[in-house]
Amino acid sequence: MNTISPRSQMEEISMYSPGKPIEELQRELGITHVIKMASNENPYGASPLAQKAITAEIKDTHYYPEITAPVLKHKLAHRLDVNENQLIFGNGSDEIIGMLTRTYLQENDEVIMASVTFPRYKTNVIIDGGIPIEVPMKQGGLHDLQAMTNAITESTKMIFVCNPNNPTGTIISAHELLEFIKNVPPHILVIVDEAYYEYIRSDDYFATLHYLDEYPNLIALRTFSKIYGLASLRIGYGIMHPSIVSELLKSKDPFNVNRFAQAAALACLDDYEFMRTTQEQNNAGRQYLENEFKRLDLSYFSTHTNFIMVDTNMAAETINDELLKRGIIIRPGHMMGYPTMIRVTIGTTDENQLFISALEEILSI
């Protein structure tokens, strides 16, 4: 029998590896109490307004959703002070990454990105026939923008900048990022992924939306999955020049954002209290973890997200396995280029305390 072969690009990638689901660990170990601190989900759930909107939407489950989310688009455009034709929604911001590579990459076009960043950039580039150019990080888990500038060639088609960066949690200063964008030729797309934008705790942050008119090649990506707690509904969005939106709409799946996601996202925009509370609790959790890491004499990256990377001075895989035995799911750094670091979602007070207690026990073995 002849073997059916996939495209050659598929040989270079593997299936995305998410954080282990709670249900899977419960089945494996036969335990009931599991803490998931691996996927940067909001530990405080979703907005009550969003939950109510989802319930109200059930009656229309049999109808397809509107394909461009016009009601949500109108409200979000007003909130962000952008034009409606600058917005596009996706099944998570991941889908918009795929729209961009599918729409703009020709065979062997080069795409620049950091060596340790969100893996879906590289995967989508490879799938669509491009060549990922991975630039090593600077010390401290930071983008090396000068090296990324130096990596630009005649074959460069787009550049991904994750800010704050996943998995390191670090940000690029406003001045540094603006100077970088100024030096990128206007025919190259600069995609700034701001999935964790709402968690930033610094005034020295690049206001991407303020520069969209000046730099038509600039794109911002954001999501409702993180601070809004809508991870299971999968809804993200991009803000960009209307001409780019028009091109992406040609490759977008018709009904990519479901009715529940649109309704929940619309409701979230009115729940200022939920966002404020989440920000305050996340900041308190971050401070607690940082203080405990200092007490344990462990170094960590300064984070502007709802997760933190800490150097355990032990093999990350060992730490991961031991934490799993104790019902705690984290993300081991050996899969991201940091063999002794782990990435942990900032959880509730109880979750953070249980994690520190387990980590301290493991480190003393």
Q: CA of 277: how far to CAs of 51, 194, 230, 291, in Å? A: 17, 20, 16, 21
Q: Calculate ∠ Cα 236-77-186, nearest 5°.
A: 75
pLDDT one-digit tens code per residue, 104-131? 999 999 999 999 999 999 999 999 999 9
Domains 17-45+273-363 and 48-269 in one fold: no
Q: Which fold has domain 48-269?
A: Aspartate Aminotransferase; domain 2 (3.40.640)
Structure tokens at 187: 């025919």
Q: What is the pLDDT of residue 34?
A: 84
pLDDT at 21 over 90: no
What percent of the chain is modeled with pLDDT above 90?
89
- Alpha-carbon radius of gyration of the chain: 21
Overall average pLDDT of the 58-69 stretch = 97
- The model's pLDDT over 134-175, given as tens digits with 9 standing for 90+, comes to 999 999 999 999 999 999 999 999 999 999 999 999 999 999
Please name which of 246, 215, 202 lies closest in space to residue 68, comparing C-alpha atoms: 246
Tokens of 159: 């550049």
User: For residues 83 and 102, what is the distance between their CA atoms, to the nearest angstrom?
Assistant: 24
Tell me the pLDDT band of 3, cut-offs 50, 70 and 90: confident
pLDDT at 348: 97
Residue 179 sits at φ, ψ, to 5 deg, of: -60, -35
- Report the pLDDT value the prediction gives residue 265, as an integer from 0 to 100: 98
Given a cut of 60, whether residue 1 has pLDDT beyond it is no
Lowest-confidence segment of 6-20, 47-61, 69-83 by average pLDDT: 6-20
Strand partners, 331: 343
* DSSP state at residue 100: H
Average pLDDT of span 273-297: 98
Angle at the Cα of 106 (from 112 to 9), degrees rounded to 5?
80
Is 71:262 a contact under the CB 8 Å cutoff? yes
6 pLDDT tier (thresholds 50, 70, 90): confident
* Mean pLDDT computed over 237-256: 96
Q: Average pLDDT of the chain? A: 94
What are the extents of the domains in the chain?
17-45+273-363, 48-269
- Tell me the per-residue pLDDT of 180-228, one tens digit each, with 9 for 90 and over: 999 999 999 999 999 999 999 999 999 999 999 999 999 999 999 999 9
pLDDT digits (tens, 9 = 90+) for 73-115: 999 999 999 999 999 999 999 999 999 999 999 999 999 999 9
The type of residue at 185 is P
Topology, domain 17-45+273-363:
Aspartate Aminotransferase, domain 1 (3.90.1150)
Q: What are phi and psi of 238, to 5 degrees?
A: -125, 145
Average pLDDT, integer, range 14-38: 72
Closest CA to 50 of 256, 273, 263, 236: 263
Q: What is the pLDDT of residue 312?
A: 98
CB neighbours of 167 closer than 8 A, spacing ≥ 6?
116, 117, 307, 309, 331, 333, 336, 343
Nearest to 320 by CA among 341, 347, 348: 341
Query: Does 248 have pLDDT greater than 60?
Result: yes
252-263: average pLDDT = 96
Give percent above pLDDT 70 in the chain.
94
